[in-house]
Amino acid sequence: MKILVTGGAGFIGSAMIRYLIAQTDTEVVNVDLLTYAGNLESLGEVSGSDRYRFEQVDICDQSALQAVFDAHQPDAVMHLAAESHVDRSIDGPAAFIQTNIVGTYTLLEVARKYWLAMPEHKREVFRFHHISTDEVFGDLTATDEPFTESTRYSPSSPYSASKASSDHLVRAWHRTYGLPVVVSNCSNNYGPFQFPEKLIPLMILNALAGKPLPVYGDGLQVRDWLFVEDHVTALYTVLREGELGETYNIGGQSEKTNLEVVNCVCRSLDELVENKPSGLTTFKELISHVTDRPGHDRRYAVNIEKIAHELSWRPSETFDSGMRKTVSWYLNNLDWCYRILEKSDNTH
């Protein structure tokens, strides 16, 4: 089997590729433009494999994408390429519209034409897996039931609205053209190799530098946290066993407030770091509350009973076990973080 992974140099995409190369006999074609959040260092352990290929291509470039499909002849597509940072989408939504909507449309069209031209025996096994987010559903109150696959879409930010749009396009290409698709919507991911502007790595790096740990508003916004290595096992399961046209919610069953997450990071750092910045007895002293961001969703939570019942998948990590692995990884890979941040600063 040969899988084309878009966004494979990103956080979840690189975890997906590392899993595919290490745990399966799949061949992988990584399609990534290498924007600020894409980094081939995340794939160092698999880059030498004869089952791995990299193509630096913009998913909005139809002719370049077509050439990749023609050259590599994939049996499946896992579409992870996306602009994904809510704050960036508020400051500059244009890139989110272009990548997440236009890019998904372009990829769908190239995949559809490729699929239609395949021999019948290969066409029957082809799959297009679109990986999305729980943020398309909007937010929940403290007493609402978690999102299910049939929850009405109500996105709040330019980011989530662009992802909702891409979900609708994928389902339309299935219904109108018969393209064999599966869709998954995941909760907040965390783990090794996450870009350092995201909450958990940002808190780790700020704490180590003795900088404030900024928490939006009261910090009581709730998210369901999913360890990235659990997520990729779910994605592979959905790709191979999911029913065509169906959607599967993937979550970590770990609802935490943002303040709880930051406190957990601090506890882990207190245990693992011997020499704290000058004057600190605990990293929690660095926590500070800042003005809330516009349209900040209050709570996300996903019901995973469908994927658990139909595909026998559940997360293997608890939040505490996943967090300890995550903090330990960052402490052992600080050079990677600083190189990524330097690259990002040079890009902008």
Cα separation of 37 and 340, whole Å?
A: 8
134 is an active site residue: yes
135 is an active site residue: yes
**Amino acid present at 54:** F
Which residue among 159, 190, 248, 300 is the active-site one?
159
159 is an active site residue: yes
Which residue among 135, 167, 297, 317 is the active-site one?
135
Which residue among 27, 55, 134, 224 is the active-site one?
134
Residues designated catalytic: 134-135, 159
